[in-house]
Chain A
Amino acid sequence: MAPAGRPATTGAAVADAAVADRGLVACPDCDLLQRLPLVPLRQTARCARCRAPLWRHKPDSLERTLALALAAAILLLIANVVPMLGLSVAGREAFTTVVGGVVAMWREGSQVVAMLVLFAAVIAPAVEIACLLLVVLAVRRPPAPHWVATLLHGYEFVREWSMIEIMLLGVLVALIKIAELATVIPGLALFVLGSLVFLLAAMAATFDPRLAWERIEWAAGSDQGGGARALR
């Protein structure tokens, strides 16, 4: 683990220069002002006070994220069109997809819950992947136009609500609950979703938001280099 940044020294003189200094960070968890140290590859700089991870030096972040996001997009598409679970009882068979679960919940009268499941299991992962895909494509040629910032905000917002891994565990529990009543047939989508869980985790771990932000055009004019705008 890399040594944590030195706490900034007190004084107004430091503060004036501080904002122009792009190596300066304020810890998101404790607001400690500190300078990011030189971080060796694959190591994480942590906050000197609360140990929150500040930045991880990731190799080929943008290229690798692009590859993983592309793969995740394809898997998500497959996972939502092929059957996920089948049921066989007394000679009758029934299959359902993820959206099939949402539709059943809707029809049975729990529309609010149906929408929540649709959002957490389908829409949020799709938005997460799509936003990140567009962001890594757009920042390949800096400066990326400012609408990319909106996509990056969208990605950060939706990540917490994208719950494929939780849904998969839920399906597993449902499967065991049903197994005593009928024969359950696992569908292809179940395995695709299983792989997608790992892909999404890898995608989030590979992406370096700090690097992406540095390549996006500023909201307040196109002043990329100087800290003049931040200083005002």
Chain B
Amino acid sequence: MSTAGFVSARALGLAGCEACGLVVRLPAAGGVDHCPRCGERLHSRRPASIERSWALAITALVLYVPANLLPVMTTNTPLGAVSDTIMQGVVELWSPTSWPLAIVVFVASVTIPLGKLIALAYLLLTVQRGSVRSNAQRVRLYRLLRFIGRWSMLDVFVDTFVVALIQLRPLMWVEPGAGVIFFAGVVVVTMLAVNSFDPRLIWDLPQQERHGDG
């Protein structure tokens, strides 16, 4: 979609407050200003949006490795202990009756975090290259990321309640594995990474971007 004919608030020295929506004139000299209505800090674009998003996305990618390789829970019985990673948990859930839930867990725990990182990297790269193509699709992708990201937390809740219920020592008890912490970290950090990304950057023309203000 072309951006011709449309005027952004920034082009007129204005900014919509991200908290309350009030349209405010930014100080001409630059620098920090606060919304006169709600008191939140005002910025035309979120400061260091691209750098923060990249840093958090890379952190999430690093955490993603132990999150999937380390066990998320260990089941203890008098016969010994069995440890499960996230993927093994999905496989165990796969049965003639509960396979739909296995798919849900797989999508929430494996597909969404990884897909989110790939999609975010795509958004960041296209913004950095000053792309002006398929803006409408890219902003829709951003909204999708914000909407589905939280659902990755599913496996953290599953582990918590399995651990809470199966405490029948010495018959059988379940302990959380080290993988849960890393996995929870992946979910939180990817959510923060998407929140740091400023979708308004998608619509900025390349020459405007070089000014880079806060």
Say whether, besides A50-B136, A105-B160, A219-B34, A153 and B203 are in contact (CB < 8 Å).
no
Chain B, residue nearest A26 (CB): B16
Say whether, besides A49-B6, A171-B157, A173-B104, A153 and B162 are in contact (CB < 8 Å).
no
Chain A, residue nearest B171 (CB): A90
Interface residue range, chain A: 35 or more
Say whether, besides A30-B139, A32-B8, A232 and B25 are in contact (CB < 8 Å).
yes
Cβ-defined contact, A176 with B199, below 8 A: no
Residues of chain B lying within 8 A (CB to CB) of residue A169: 104, 154, 157
Say whether, besides A89-B171, A90-B171, A7 and B21 are in contact (CB < 8 Å).
no
Q: Which of A27, A92, A167 contacts B157 (CB 8 A)?
A: A167
> Which residues from 183 to 232 on chain A have a C-beta closer than 8 Å to any C-beta of chain B?
184, 209-210, 213, 216, 218-220, 229-232
Say whether, besides A18-B23, A96-B164, A101-B161, A33 and B98 are in contact (CB < 8 Å).
no
Q: Which of B16, B35, B167, B195 contacts A94 (CB 8 A)?
A: B167
Stretch at the interface among A56-64, A66-74, A109-117, A130-138: A109-117
Question: Is the C-beta of B92 less than 8 angstroms from some C-beta in chain A?
Answer: yes
CA distance A29 to B202 in the complex (A): 9
Residues of chain A lying within 8 A (CB to CB) of residue B165: 85, 87, 94, 96, 174, 178, 184
Chain A CB count within 10 A is highest, among B8, B23, B184, for B23
Cβ-defined contact, A220 with B36, below 8 A: yes
Question: Is the C-beta of A100 less than 8 angstroms from some C-beta in chain B?
Answer: yes
Residues of chain B lying within 8 A (CB to CB) of residue A161: 150
Cβ-defined contact, A166 with B150, below 8 A: yes
Cβ-defined contact, A231 with B25, below 8 A: yes
Q: Which of B13, B101, B180 contacts A113 (CB 8 A)?
A: B180
Residue positions of B touching A, CB distance < 8 A: 1, 3, 5-10, 12-16, 18-25, 34-40, 44, 89, 92-93, 98, 101, 104-105, 135-136, 139, 142-143, 150-151, 153-168, 171-172, 175-176, 180-181, 184, 188, 191, 195, 199-200, 202-204
Complex A-B: 9 CB contacts under 8 Å:
A26-B16, A32-B203, A33-B8, A149-B20, A163-B157, A177-B158, A178-B162, A181-B172, A219-B34
Residue positions of A touching B, CB distance < 8 A: 7-10, 12, 14-15, 18-19, 24-33, 48-52, 85, 87, 89-90, 92, 94, 96, 100-105, 108-110, 112-114, 116-117, 120-121, 146, 149, 152-153, 156, 160-161, 163, 166-167, 169-178, 181-182, 184, 209-210, 213, 216, 218-220, 229-232
